[in-house]
Amino acid sequence: MDKKVAVTDKKNVKKREKIEHKNCSYAILVTVWVAVALFACMFLASGFLTLTKDIIPYDKMNAALLELMVSAVVYATAVLVTVFGPWLILRKWAQAKTNREEMGLRSWPTWTDILLAVAGYVVSLVAGMFLLFVGAALLPGANWEQAQDVGFHGVYATSDLLMAFVALVVVAPICEELIFRGWMYGKLRARLAALPAILLVSLLFAAVHMQLNVGVVVFCMSVVNCLIRELTGTIYGGIFVHMLRNAVAFYALFVMGV
């Protein structure tokens, strides 16, 4: 009897190890796919602009309008490629399909989402400032005050400011939340516990910003937004946090000139 129990336990352990290995491989695949899809979209957009510069008079176009158009196209393409790319490539694989619940879009925004967004913004702001302070103390040689290049240089006209606002405060937060806290987190959370899923999403989100100080700040925001999704089951609160953060940064940069 004891031998049968031991054999059964051994089989169960091997079965669990096999499942954990599959989940780990799946998580790596999802993370790599998001990173590749994002950089591929940026590379293709840059290549398209370079190849068509002699055909389309970009230099004669309104700079803010061009920046908005490019930003919208890149973000929209990134969302489409990230979300629908796996399904188009691997149609027969059930895991490649995505539904609204997995994307965190199963309902409409509520007042709870708005209240959580305000609280989430404050928490992410404080956490980001604390980590920047710790980082500066541990690595004093690093550049912890590097300005983030958000585009839209020399924007002064009201119409240009409006286009910059749409790109930075509306388009970017919605698309980034759809990709990271929507598709990526939904896929990872289906196979992983909350903590590793949150860390993977937040680390990649910080990495794609390619600046140490900005990466630390957006990492904290991503963690908060993932926790909000855990609480509500949707990404709406995270979108509002992201919009609020970008709106404050927009005001400081373009209105106050900080």
The neighbour count for residue 253, using CB atoms within 10 Å, is 17
DSSP output for 75-128: HHHHHHHHHHHHHHH-TT-GGG---HHHHT-SS---HHHHHHHHHHHHHHHHHH
Q: Helix, strand or coil for residue 62? A: coil
- Residue 37 · residue 81 · CB < 8 Å: yes
Q: Residue 253 is encoded by which pair of tokens? A: 């940069």
pTM value > 0.85: yes
pLDDT at residue 189 is higher than 80: yes
- Residue 104 · residue 235 · CB < 8 Å: yes
The neighbour count for residue 173, using CB atoms within 10 Å, is 22
Residue 182: what pLDDT? Answer: 96
Q: Residue 12 is encoded by which pair of tokens? A: 């169960």
Cα separation of 68 and 172, whole Å? 10
Helices 194-207 and 212-232, axial angle in degrees (round to 10): 150
Tell me: the pLDDT tens digits for 85-130? 888 887 767 667 888 899 999 889 999 999 999 999 999 999 999 9
Number of H helices, E strands in the chain: 10, 0
In the chain, the percentage of residues whose pLDDT exceeds 70 is: 93
- Residue 211 · residue 148 · CB < 8 Å: yes
Cα separation of 125 and 248, whole Å? 11
Tell me: the pLDDT tens digits for 144-177? 888 888 888 777 788 889 999 999 999 999 999 9
CA 13 vs. chain centroid, Å, equals 35
pLDDT at residue 7 is higher than 80: no
Residue 58: what pLDDT? Answer: 80
Residue 232: what pLDDT? Answer: 95
Per-residue confidence band for 213, with pLDDT thresholds at 50, 70 and 90: very high
pLDDT at residue 3 is higher than 70: no
Tell me: the pLDDT tens digits for 58-84? 878 888 888 888 899 999 999 999 998
Look at the alpha carbons of 63, 66, 72, 74 in this order and tell me if their dihedral is positive or negative. Answer: negative
- Residue 122 · residue 228 · CB < 8 Å: no
Average pLDDT over residues 185-193: 94
Supply φ then ψ for residue 10, to 5 degrees. -65, -40
The neighbour count for residue 72, using CB atoms within 10 Å, is 16
Q: Residue 150 is encoded by which pair of tokens? A: 């958000």
Q: Residue 251 is encoded by which pair of tokens? A: 């005001």
pLDDT at residue 6 is higher than 70: no
- Residue 205 · residue 196 · CB < 8 Å: no
